[in-house]
């Protein structure tokens, strides 16, 4: 994959969904929600200036960003404004 975000955009891979609850109940695929955090794979120059770097884990809003498929895999393109925070 060779993708370079422009301006304040960030390419994110969503984290895997949890398939069981804390008590061990298995969640069926049709009841799962898309995770609201992911790993940053590529960063535009303006987003880097805001402190977002490749490898960071970010949290974003439920309806934020645009889905994109690269090499058969789904990713999310966010602007730095869509990112709510970094997980440390």
Task: Express each pLDDT in 58-78 by its tens digit.
Answer: 999 989 999 999 999 999 999
Whether residue 69 lies inside any domain: the answer is yes
**Start-end of H helices in 1-88:** 45-49
The per-residue pLDDT for 50 is 94
Whether residue 3 lies inside any domain: the answer is no
Whether residue 20 lies inside any domain: the answer is yes
Specify the CATH number for the domain of residue 13: 2.30.33.40
Tell me how many domains the chain contains.
Answer: 1
pLDDT tens, residue by residue, 15-37: 876 666 678 777 666 655 677 99
Tell me the residue range of the domain where 41 lies.
Answer: 9-87
Of the candidates 13, 11, 5, 9, the one whose C-alpha atom is nearest the C-alpha of residue 79 is: 9
Band (pLDDT 50/70/90 cuts) for residue 10 is very high
**C-alpha to C-alpha distance for 29 and 23, rounded to whole angstroms:** 18
Q: With contact defined as beta carbons under 8 Å apart, do 9 and 16 qualify?
A: no
**C-alpha to C-alpha distance for 48 and 42, rounded to whole angstroms:** 10
């Amino acid at each position: 994959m060779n993708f370079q975000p422009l301006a304040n955009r960030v390419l994110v891979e969503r984290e895997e969904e949890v398939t069981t609850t804390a008590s061990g109940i298995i969640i069926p695929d049709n009841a799962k929600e898309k995770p609201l955090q992911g790993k940053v794979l590529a960063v535009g120059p303006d987003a880097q200036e805001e402190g977002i770097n490749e490898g960071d884990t970010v949290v974003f809003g439920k309806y934020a960003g645009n889905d994109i498929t690269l090499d058969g895999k789904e990713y999310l393109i966010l602007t730095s404004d869509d990112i709510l925070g970094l997980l440390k």
